[in-house]
Amino acid sequence: MTKGINRSSSVLILISFLLLSSCNRNIVFTDFMVMPGNVWNLPSIVDFKIPISDTLSRNNVLFTIRTGSSYPFRNIYLFVTTTSPDGKVITDTLQYNLADEKGAWHGKGFGDIHELNLPYKTNVYFPSKGTYQFKIQHGMRIEDLKGVYDFGLRIEKITK
């Protein structure tokens, strides 16, 4: 029964996301990685490869995380490694609060699912055409981070 609920929830999330993203023509890239069993294992690195052809537009880069009530923390640490087409590598260690000190989740929720957009880079230009790679790993102090349904990356073009 639980397997059917997870599958139904995933389908509902995907349909909602597709409907919402089709309304925004400024989306340069969007993708999600579903976590098997709603667990983000420490060695599991989320890997996005994004082809970029526009080097003139300003962009916002953000992550989206969907968690459930079994997520044991109110924050998350992320290690983000970005590789540009010319091979330059930038690594960031980030910390985001997912809930306040009283346990109220930030973002929006539906049933057991809490969705939160996490800003990564704002007002950025991609200096070179080609494929940019973003690798994201959770940096929590446990091997199996329970309660993570999926993790996504979105790049939005900023319009004037």
Report pLDDT digits (tens) over 71-130.
999 999 999 999 999 999 999 999 999 998 888 888 898 888 999 999 999 999 999 999
**Alpha-carbon gap, residue 86 to 98, rounded angstroms:** 34
| pLDDT classification of 11: cutoffs 50, 70, 90 | low
Residue whose C-alpha is closest to residue 95's, from 74, 110, 111: 74
CATH classification of the domain holding 133: 2.60.120
* Phi-psi category of residue 72: left, alpha or beta, with phi > 0 → left and psi -120 to 50 → alpha: alpha
Q: pLDDT at position 105, please?
A: 86
Do residues 77 and 148 touch, judged by C-beta distance below 8 A? Answer: no
Report pLDDT digits (tens) over 17-75.
555 544 567 999 999 999 999 999 999 999 999 999 999 999 999 999 999 989 999 99
Question: Which residue range is the domain that position 40 belongs to?
Answer: 2-157
Residue 2 confidence (pLDDT) above 90: no
Q: Into how many domains does the chain fold? A: 1
